[in-house]
Amino acid sequence: MQTITPFIEKQGIVCTETVAGPNALVVFGASGDLTHRKLLTGIFKLFSQDLLNESFYVLGCGRKTFSDEDFREKAIQSIRDNIDSVSPEGLDAIANKLYYLDGDYNDPDYYQRIRAKLTQLNREHRVHNRVVFYLAVPPFLYAPIVEHLGSAGLTCPAKPESREKVKLVLEKPFGRDLESAVELNNHITRYFSESQIYRIDHYLGKETVQNLLMLRFANTIFEPVWNRNFIDNVQISIAETVGVEHRAGYYDTTGALRDMFQNHMLQMLTLVAMEPPISFEADRIRDEKVRLLRSVRPFDLNRLDEFWVRGQYGPGTLNGKTLKGYLDEPGVNPDSKTETFVATKLFIDNWRWQGVPFYLRTGKRLAAKDTEIAITFKKIPYSLFSSVGLNELPANVLVFHIQPEESISLSFQAKRPGSKLCMSTLNMSFSYERLFSVHLPDPYKRLLLDCMIGDQTLFTRQDDIEVSWQLLSPILHAWEQDASAPYTYAAGCDSFAEADRLIEADGRQWRKVLHD
């Protein structure tokens, strides 16, 4: 396949960015991996690009005993480990805005100490009570931390009109099923209004995922063909080479459906298939996402095998290295039936998508790390070139490559120079990093800034969470009651027979995303 080299005709038709106002970022779980690998790195990048207000600081809260200086030293080391080049001046400047307060998350007195510390730091940094509480902790701590914040009077300033100055950020997962998600939402909304809550799905912060909205709704060439009349099928794949690594305790009680499907997969589905919103406002976009999820056809529990496949990786090899099976991983129950691979075929019952199959799959310990959304258009209805043996021509495919390299490509047929009739598939493709000569920002940088400026576009709303669980909870409960184990697939494989049959039954095949 030939590749066409792209170029930029007009850079920056419009480029806007909003600088955050005065803010305090209070991070629970400040001694953890997420804080040091993602949050502090994202904050430093925002600070270095002058996207943070001078009136800004971070208060780390955690169980480990650190002084302010200990926390600053560890933060600086994390920034150096995750960013190629940093200036000593920049590190010194951000370090002076980092503080730490240790304590027990279940101790009410800890939150009174946090309140006193915030009062002091808010006055010193002139933050004006604008506080973001970020819960970088296990989900079982969400409810007690929120309750203690509320009891300490930290969820809302004294004046009700100042409520929007206080925000709460939650990491996935948002519940384990519909019942737990509703319970969690009800508990949190006792202390925070929905407009204050920012549920992070870091996939929505990726440039290529965000570009789905731009490509669809800023161009006239795509929307007219973005429907059942022109699209044959859509495939969304998230392939990982890693196993459970150090997360066995969490993963073995969670599985691929909860860990990846309920959030990442369904969020990407909504951006591909949603109707045009009436404006680029956060809630207008989120309205359409929820409407799309409500349109997904419920699954017949008596025919789950026709629409779902679950697998669990066994022993295998990858790049010459022998890999353990899931049941042999440290910390995994040797009798575990937890799925590490899930694939499904679903339909959307609305005017635009009626009859178009959406194939979604995600799995661990596969042959390569690759995430993509592929829109395959219908083949031409009649070939003019059948006299020379070209009875059937390949379909056009538009692909959003999300990782490991973010890019967009479109394949189509064209004549090659030479013979009178010489045709080949051309691939019009561009990589963000190569085309724009920049390193793509980490999703957390985008999401942290949006949270501080109050833009909820890329965050998941309560009704979105509950509708997705309404769709998936029956599947989870059916699997829990099923005595049979998931299919076993070899670690390091591309796919396996049972997953292939799901799509081959329709006369289609999985795209070879692992080798493109």
Q: Which residues are catalytic?
A: 264
Closest CA to 363 of 345, 344, 339, 340: 340
Whole-number Å distance between alpha carbons of 350 and 343: 22
Is 503 strand, coil or helix? Answer: helix
Closest CA to 94 of 49, 132, 31: 49
> How far apart, in whole angstroms, are the C-alpha atoms of residue 409 and residue 397?
8
Which of helix, strand or coil describes residue 504?
helix
Compute the distance between CA of residue 75 and CA of residue 300 in angstroms, rounded to an integer: 50
- Alpha helix locations (H) across 399-484? 432-436, 443-453, 462-481
CA nearest to 115, candidates 175, 68, 64, 158 = 158
Q: How far apart are CA 432 and CA 7, in angstroms?
A: 11
* Residue 111: CA count within 13 A, CB half-sphere: 17
Rg (CA), the chain: 25
C-alpha to C-alpha distance for 279 and 286, rounded to whole angstroms: 11
- Kind of pairing, strands 131-135 and 166-171? parallel
Q: Give Dmax (Cα) for the chain.
A: 84
Q: Rounded distance, CA 100 to CA 94, Å? A: 14
Residues 6 or more apart from 120 whose CB is under 8 A from it? Answer: none
